[in-house]
Each structure stands twice: as C-alpha cells, then as structure tokens.
Structure 1
C-alpha cells in the first residue's frame, strides 16, 4: 500500500513549480529615459499580463551597459531575472572583448523584441540644417567638433565612428553613461552632435529642444517621412539598434518558450503595436534560435568595422 501510494504521488513531485509565481525583474542596463528603458516600459506591463505576473523594470546603468548585463548574467537561471539587451551590450561590447561576461556562453537567448533606427541630433544653435551642411561644417573644422555617446563600446559610439569614417570626418568623442544624460549638454551646445535612438531622441525634437537632421536606417521612417536617411548624403551608411530579451545561462527550455510566446503575444496587441510605432520601433519577435542567429551576424558585422577602423573601447 505504501509503495502504491508513493507511486501515485511521484508524478506530482516530479512536476516543476508553476512559472511564474512571483514578480519578474527585467534588468535594463541603461539609465531611465533612454531608448532601452522606454522600450522596456512599453512592453513590460503587457508581457506581465501574458505571463500572469508583474514585470518590474530595474535600471542598472554604467560601462556602456556592461554592469547591468553582468548582473543579469550572474542571476539564478530561474526565469525571475531577465535582461533587455541591445546591440551595444551583446554585439559591439563583446566584439571589443572588454566586458565581464561572454555574450554567448553566459546567456540564454529568448526573443528579438524589436529594432530602432537612430536620428542625428544637433543643438538648435547649430549652423547646419541638413546632413550635407553639417558634414561640410565638420570638414571645415577638423577636431573642433565633438559627439556624445552612451559610453565607450556602445552602438552609439560605433555608429558614430562608422559615420565619421564614411563621411571622412575628425570628431572628438565624449562618452556618457547613457544618451539621456548627454541631452542637456547637447541642448546647451556643449555637445555638437548625438546619434540617439528614435524613441529617446524624438520627443526632444517634437518639443523644439533639438534639431533632427537625418535617420540612420536604410530608408525614411514612417514616423518622420520628411526626415531623410543619412545614406542619401553619406552613401552606404546604415545602422539600427536591436533590442533582445535574454536570461542567464542554463534557463530551461520550458521557461524560454513561455517567455518567448508571451513576448510574441504582447507584440501583437494593438495598443503595444501603436505605442511602438509612435516610438519609431519595429517589433520583431520570432524564435530564440532566430534571435541567436541574428545576434551572431550582427557581432560579425561590428567586429569587422572595429578591426578595420582599429577602434578601442578605452
């Protein structure tokens, strides 16, 4: 009888605890107000609804996103700490080889959540009103103009260096802990240009605080059809920021699939799609395998640019 009772109970013991049964922490490795933070807050509530819990955004900025990413990498692989990573943290930073984590080995890919182009922002006091005029202005003042980034080794840093190379410019780099922290200096004219993600930069343009000259995507954005693609002036120039969801290494396939499905469902919600469209973000979704393949190809692209330009993260 005891053996029979034990056998009857065994399947119940073998079942894992229901997931999720407590709030999930979503680590954002950049400051509040930046593009990654805006994106996280646009999808976290809806993801929580799909998973039946609360998703809490936890900003852990610093070192170009490496600090927050490392925190997430070292968290227990139980599905209760996730990371909203970007091109900066998992393509460019790892290509420099100076981050405290392995972008592949230390994480479990879950979902390619979305893409966002950047916009070229200048102070209202800038003499340039087009990309062509700004390039001519910079060429006439080699080494006298500067640009801000969200930190050494970030997509903003590399994207601007790529622009410099394509346009043949000499600009001085001023790294910040996030683009949101650079905005006041850009508004005041202490900084000459910033390539900021559309979600975080556009509000400042709409409020009249800054002037937008161009967009970094391959084509014009439906959100700003009047704003030309930079490639119309600087042929071959194109860059976007991708956003992706990771868990720590060893996250179970069941939990990965649960979260990936929840993200796909959240991205299909009309209010989420509308909010992301207004931010200039293209939702993506898809399988963890598709996400891993995309990130690997992006790492190869930036590694090639880093090596060709002899760039460093120092």
Structure 2
C-alpha cells in the first residue's frame, strides 16, 4: 500500500462493527488465505476461469486465494455463504449473470443480491455456443427451430443450473423463436451436462463457447450458432444467431468478483486493483482466450455496480416474460 493510501486509511472514520480496529486490520489485509467461492461445479467453465483468476491473485497478493465450490439451487447456496461471511476481506464470490436474476427466480431468498453484496470487479465477458448432439437431424438454426415447433415438449436442453447463464440464454432463445416448448434439464454445472449431450440424452446445449469448441471441431457435436454480434475466431464457420435466422438475439455471460456488503472500502479497492493487475497479465489473457473470455482490466467497484444494475434491468423483465422458473 502506498504512503498516500496509508494516510487515507488512517484518516477514515470508524465503520460500524469494526470500530477503531479498522485501520490496522485494513493495512495488514490479507492476513489469512482468501476464499473465492464459486457457486458452480468443479470442472465447469466458470470454475476453470475462477481458478485462473485465483492463481493470478495469489501471485499479486501476500496470501493465497483458494477457490471453494459451493453449488446448489442455482447459485443460491454459494451466494448465501458469501452474503453471510465475515466482512473482513477474506471471503469473496466469483459469480456470473446468474446473480442478476436471483430476485425473480427465488423470491424467498434469505439474502438480497444487491443489498448484501459489494461488486468488486468485472473480469470478463463470454459468448455462448448453441450445440446439438450429432444425431439431431437439424443442420441449421432454422431447421432446429422448426423441429422444436413441430413437436412441443418432445426435446430437451441442458443447463448449468436453474437461473444460470446457460438457462437464461436458452430461455431467451426459445422465447424469441416463438415460445418454443423444450424440456429443461438442469445440472450442477456445465461439466456434468456435456456427457449427456455427447451420448444423445440431450438434444441441445447453449453453453459458454469454451466448453463446446473442441467437441464441435472433433465432430462430436454440431454447432449451429454463436450468441455474440461477431463470429467466434475459434469457430469461424459457425454463424451468429442473426446470421442464422434469429435477428436481435444476443446473449453473454460475464464473470464478476463480489464481496460481502460492509467489507471495508479500502479492502474492496485493493482487491479491485489486484484483479485489474491480474487481468493485464499475459498468462491470464492467454488462458482467457482459450476459454473464449474477453478479459476486462478497467473495472472499478463503481463501474461493476453500474454493470450489475444494468444487467438486472435487462434480465429481470425477460425472465418474467419468458416464464423462466427455478424449477
């Protein structure tokens, strides 16, 4: 910490619950290993990215940052653990767009996704890839839509959990394509869903792009559309949804670090500084490229909070209009 920041910390008034101990505690942060709670299954795309970020943070901070997977009820279990954690800067949440739809999906939450969290840093944005198992006769997005339309309720799609990014992106697609009726099968993360797509137990999986690149390249699944405005460099032959016949459809997930609300602001700032430093590391940027994540190294706690508010304003009405449920 610079001399200027130390003087600023010492000049801060005591925060309720920390009292006079705040300056000393903040100046020595982190005094113990940091838990980065990921509310998604180990081995899935969010977990893999979280571990890459944790590795970078461990090199940028005096203490190790350890990823802890806490799954259940979409992202509720892991998020609640962070909301209830001590506000000492040793527990953070690594979550996604799923955080922005907790209120409409889980109206009886024991915590509030805004009031009980402090956004720290937006670290990356990720497009989605629509895949079908290789036995599906549809060779294009238009043909897939017609297939679903001709047999309501006959086919299936997988997700990484109710209310997660995959679930939201798929629900939006089905809604915009004409309120198509396709059965939702939620999993505890994306990794457990992939085998069922490969063996034909799932019809479709609109997953984060990184998880599908290799299976499409190897012919194990068929890629029909990418959810971003531009084609994915790793799969240049796969059209965007707009090119494939569904103009106006775009969907991304994003990764953000949160702290429990009430975490001392100078600790939030220090964690934000560390996250931005990590996102500028060439090793991390190469790893994120492999994961099809666009890294962000310019986030502030304020801009991250603004991003969250804008995403909630976008997704909450769509969740209600599309009839997305947590079940």
- Work out the CA distance in 2 between the residues paired with 1:101 and 1:221: 37
Aligned pairs (5 A) from 1:99-110: 99-110=109-120
1:300 counterpart = 2:300? no
CA RMSD of aligned residues (A): 2.0
- Work out the CA distance in 2 between the residues paired with 1:260 and 1:206: 37
Distance apart, 1:34 and its partner CA: 1.1
Distance apart, 1:98 and its partner CA: 4.3
Provide the secondary structure at the position in 1 that maps to 2:191. Answer: helix
Q: Is the Cα contact below 8 Å between 1:35 and 1:199 reproduced in 2?
A: yes
TM-score (norm 2): 0.87
- Work out the CA distance in 1 between the residues paired with 2:52 and 2:215: 18
- Work out the CA distance in 2 between the residues paired with 1:211 and 1:52: 45
**Equivalent residue for 1:268?**
280
- Residue number among 262, 283, 293 corresponding to 2:295 in the alignment: 283
Q: 1:124 to 1:72 in 2, by over 3 A?
A: same
- Work out the CA distance in 2 between the residues paired with 1:98 and 1:161: 22
**Equivalent residue for 2:57?**
47
**Equivalent residue for 2:193?**
182
Aligned pairs (5 A) from 1:2-81: 15-16=24-25, 18-81=28-91
Q: Is the Cα contact below 8 Å between 2:45 and 2:291 reproduced in 1?
A: no
Q: Is the Cα contact below 8 Å between 1:92 and 1:155 reproduced in 2?
A: no
Q: Which has the higher mean CA deviation after the structures are superposed, 262-271 or 216-225? A: 216-225
Unaligned ranges ≥5, structure 2: 1-9, 12-20
Q: 1:282 to 1:107 in 2, by over 3 A?
A: same
Q: Is the Cα contact below 8 Å between 2:213 and 2:234 reproduced in 1?
A: no
- Residue number among 206, 209, 223 corresponding to 2:220 in the alignment: 209
- Residue number among 82, 85, 92 corresponding to 2:92 in the alignment: 82
Q: Is the Cα contact below 8 Å between 1:38 and 1:199 reproduced in 2?
A: no
1:9-68 deviations in Å (ceiling 9; x for gaps): x99x86335111221111010001112101101211111111122111111111111111
Provide the secondary structure at the position in 1 that maps to 2:75. Answer: helix
Q: Is the Cα contact below 8 Å between 2:104 and 2:320 reproduced in 1?
A: no
Provide the secondary structure at the position in 1 that maps to 2:192. Answer: helix
Distance apart, 1:151 and its partner CA: 2.0
1:190-246 deviations in Å (ceiling 9; x for gaps): 110011112333343345432222111122122322221112221111110011000
**Equivalent residue for 1:230?**
241
**Equivalent residue for 1:253?**
265
Provide the secondary structure at the position in 2 that maps to 1:63. Answer: coil
1:86-128 deviations in Å (ceiling 9; x for gaps): 111x112233334432111111110011110111111122212
- Work out the CA distance in 1 between the residues paired with 2:139 and 2:322: 29
Q: 1:42 to 1:206 in 2, by over 3 A?
A: farther
Provide the secondary structure at the position in 1 that maps to 2:74. Answer: helix
TM-score (norm 1): 0.91
**Equivalent residue for 1:220?**
231
1:153-203 deviations in Å (ceiling 9; x for gaps): 222222111111111222111122222111111111111001111233334
Provide the secondary structure at the position in 2 that maps to 1:190. Answer: coil
1:158 counterpart = 2:168? yes
**Equivalent residue for 1:95?**
104
Unaligned ranges ≥5, structure 1: 1-9
- Work out the CA distance in 1 between the residues paired with 2:159 and 2:284: 28
Q: Tell me the number of residue pairs that the alignment of Structure 1 and Structure 2 aligns.
A: 304
Q: 1:79 to 1:240 in 2, by over 3 A?
A: same
